[in-house]
Structure 1
Amino acid sequence: MLQSLIDFVRDHYRTNDFIPLHAPIFGGNEKTYVAETIDSTFVSSVGAFVDRFEQDMASYTGSPRAVATVNGTAALHVALRLVDVGPGDYVITQPLTFVATCNAISYCGAVPIFVDVDRHTLGLSPAALADWLEANAYRDDHGYCHRREDNGVIRACLPMHTFGHPADLDGLVRICHEWGLTLVEDAAESLGSTYHDRHTGTFGALGTLSFNGNKVITTGGGGMILANQVLGERAKHLTTTAKQPHAFEYAHDELGYNYRLPNLNAALGCAQLEQLDAYLAEKRKLAADYAACLSGSDFTFFTEPEGCSSNYWLNAVVCADQAQRDELLQATNQQGIMTRPIWQLMNCLPMYAAAPAGDLNNAMWLEARVVNLPSSVRAKTKESS
């Protein structure tokens, strides 16, 4: 089966050269829009493409407001600040995520609490969340959630939509409401994914996106905060150094951040967003082809949760055990096809090893078995254009 999979990947990408895990493609108006920014001289944090990118993203996702940032981690950091996460607070999140999720919590001076994921979503498990809260937390007379062990405030819940597959948002929204937790979505990987026909990143108080070079669309580096109008205005203020409007004076009214997305990057994003629907259609077709290729094998192709439409940012296969995982990784990489294991669990990293954690059996099971397969959108050729 390994060689059949390798042959399938090479046939799909029509090359005998190295095949990356997820590479960007620039087949639209990218060069035209970037050239416009250069001609305008507005290449930094102020320019028409920044405004356009924010407006277009708000329209695409159905979010009342979208605020562009320099990267997805910056978006997460500010989103957590906007819901009052601060020093000494706790934020519940999942151990199966990219390190940026936890780093953003730490930037606020807060501490992550790791709760297990569901195997069928790869995202934070509502059942595990409810169990952990019942055993370890209480709500005070003012409605705030506290950790019993030290009475610290658990301020927020931060699930991540792993590889673009939506977490169980109905369950998470319900439990957060019951326990007085603010839901913030790390939707860095899930642009274009929907949960019951609604875009991920729009269920919590805030959501965040990433446009890193390996994402479904890219601005080179960049991120976005999705919010209501009130929080959106606050996000814009904080990410632009908390500078008050004035014709010539420099007045800053609170601690802010220079997290603005440059106009050059926003121009790239506008062109990429114009092609997003086509990218999603091709990525979903590739996922279906992977599933067909692996049907009847020892490998289980990971498919979108019921009631969801995933962007299939990174296609994933679940191996029978870690030995099979390692065999797959070695065979593909030796033949010039980039595959990757899932991230090392966050609670195993030295800076988060002392953080509180629940029973993480599902996360550990997945860590030992999941491999990501090449998932790039193919560049158009003369024959296909």
Structure 2
Amino acid sequence: MFDTLIEFIRDQYQTKDFIPLHAPVFSGREREYVLETIESTFVSSVGAFVDRFEQDMAKYTGSQRGVATVNGTAALHIALQLAGVKSGELVITQALTFVATCNAIAYCGAEPVFIDVDRHTLGLSPSALQSWLAENAILDADGLCRAKADNRIVRACVPMHTFGHPVELDLLVEVCTQWNLVLVEDAAESLGSFYKNRHTGTIGALGMLSFNGNKIITTGGGGMILTNEVLGARAKHLTTTAKKPHAYEYVHDEVGYNYRLPNLNAALGCAQLEQLEKFIEAKRALAGRYASLLQGSALQFVTEPADCRSNYWLNAVICESAAHRDALLAETNGKGVMTRPIWGLMNTSPTYSHCLKGDLSNSTWLESVVVNLPSSVLSEFLR
């Protein structure tokens, strides 16, 4: 099966050279917009392309406001601050995630609580969340959710839309509402993914996107906070060093952050966003071909959840066992086709091993059997 898969991948990308997991594509007006920025001399944090990128992204996602940041981690950090997360508090998230999710929580002085994922979404499980809260939390007289063990406030919940597949948002909203938790969506990987016709990152109080070089569109590095007008205005203020508007004076009225996305990067993002639907068409076509190839085989292809449109940022398969996974990784990488395992669980990281956690049976199993396959946009869709 491995040789058939490798041959199939090489046929899709029409090359005998090394095939990366996910390479950026610059087939639109990227050069034109970047050169326009250079010629304008506004290459840093002030410029027309920053405003345009924020407005275009808000329009595409259906968010009231988009605030561009230097990367996705910065976007999540500010989103958590706006959610009210304070030092010493707890924030619920999934153990099966990229480390940046947990690091943003730590930047606030808070600690993650690790909850299991669902196998069909690879994202935070509403039933596991409800079970952990029912057993380990209470609502105090002020309506605050607190951990029974030490009375710490549980302030927010951060699901991550793994590989672009939306989590069960309706059910998560119900649980978060019941327990007075602020829902903050880590939609770093899911630009172009929709849950019941609503874009990921727009259903919680706040959401964020990433435009890292390996994402479906890239600004080189960059992120975006998605939220309402009121929180968006606060996000813009905090991410621009909390500087009050003035013709020439420097007045900063609180501790802010230099998290602004440079105009140069925003120019790249504007050109990339113009091609997003074409990229998604290509990636969904590739996913369909993978699914057809692997049907009935020992490799189970991960498909989008019901009532969702996934961007299929990274295609993934579930192997029969850890040994099967290791063999697939060795064979493909040994023959110049890049594949990779899913992340190690965050509760096993030395940095976060002391944190509270629930039963992580699904997460532990997925960690041992999931492999990502090459997922770059196919050149045939760029003609």
For residues 229-378 of structure 1, the aligned pairs below 5 Å read: 229-378=229-378
> How far apart in 2 are the matches of 1:336 and 1:271?
31
> How far apart in 1 are the matches of 2:231 and 2:55?
16
Q: Is the 8 A contact 1:342 1:371 kept in 2?
A: yes
> How far apart in 1 are the matches of 2:255 and 2:244?
12
Match of residue 71 from structure 2: 71
> How far apart in 2 are the matches of 1:362 and 1:130?
16
Shift of residue 358, structure 1, vs aligned partner: 0.4
Task: Specify the code of the residue in structure 2 equivalent to 1:264.
Answer: L
Match of residue 210 from structure 2: 210
Q: SS of the residue aligned with 1:316?
A: strand
> How far apart in 2 are the matches of 1:251 and 1:157?
34
Correspondence 1:84 to 2:84? yes
Q: Is the 8 A contact 2:286 2:378 kept in 1?
A: no
Match of residue 55 from structure 2: 55
> How far apart in 1 are the matches of 2:241 and 2:132?
38
1:162-213 deviations in whole A, cap 9, x for unaligned? 0000000011000000000000000000000000011000011100000000
> How far apart in 1 are the matches of 2:258 and 2:379?
35
For residues 18-57 of structure 1, the aligned pairs below 5 Å read: 18-57=18-57
1:76-135 deviations in whole A, cap 9, x for unaligned? 000000111011000000000000000000000000000000000000000000000000
1:224-270 deviations in whole A, cap 9, x for unaligned? 00010000000000000000001111100111000000000000000
1:259-282 deviations in whole A, cap 9, x for unaligned? 000000000000000000000001
Shift of residue 380, structure 1, vs aligned partner: 5.6
Q: SS of the residue aligned with 2:347?
A: helix
Match of residue 132 from structure 1: 132
Q: 1:208 to 1:60 in 2, by over 3 A?
A: same
Match of residue 161 from structure 2: 161
Shift of residue 378, structure 1, vs aligned partner: 2.6
Shift of residue 34, structure 1, vs aligned partner: 0.1
Task: Specify the code of the residue in structure 1 equivalent to 2:239.
Answer: T
> How far apart in 1 are the matches of 2:79 and 2:313?
23
Structure 2's unaligned 5+ residue stretches are none
> How far apart in 2 are the matches of 1:137 and 1:267?
46
Structure 1's unaligned 5+ residue stretches are none
Q: TM-score when scaled to structure 1?
A: 0.99
Match of residue 13 from structure 1: 13
Q: SS of the residue aligned with 2:351?
A: helix
1:3-36 deviations in whole A, cap 9, x for unaligned? 1000000000000000000000000000000000
Q: SS of the residue aligned with 1:155?
A: strand
1:120-159 deviations in whole A, cap 9, x for unaligned? 0000000000000000000011111000000000000000
1:20-74 deviations in whole A, cap 9, x for unaligned? 0000000000000000000000000000000000000000000000000000000
> How far apart in 1 are the matches of 2:84 and 2:248?
31
Q: Is the 8 A contact 1:25 1:379 kept in 2?
A: no
1:323-348 deviations in whole A, cap 9, x for unaligned? 00000000000000000000000000
Q: SS of the residue aligned with 1:376?
A: coil
Q: Is the 8 A contact 1:79 1:207 kept in 2?
A: yes
For residues 109-124 of structure 1, the aligned pairs below 5 Å read: 109-124=109-124
> How far apart in 2 are the matches of 1:111 and 1:297?
41
**For the aligned residues, what is the CA RMSD?**
0.8
Q: Quick one: percent identity of the two aligned structures?
A: 68
> How far apart in 2 are the matches of 1:84 and 1:196?
28
> How far apart in 2 are the matches of 1:45 and 1:334?
43
> How far apart in 2 are the matches of 1:83 and 1:117?
23
Q: Is the 8 A contact 2:283 2:378 kept in 1?
A: no
Q: Is the 8 A contact 1:95 1:345 kept in 2?
A: yes
Task: Specify the code of the residue in structure 1 equivalent to 2:355.
Answer: A
Task: Specify the code of the residue in structure 1 equivalent to 2:13.
Answer: Y
Shift of residue 379, structure 1, vs aligned partner: 3.5
Match of residue 226 from structure 2: 226
Match of residue 184 from structure 1: 184
Aligned residues: 383
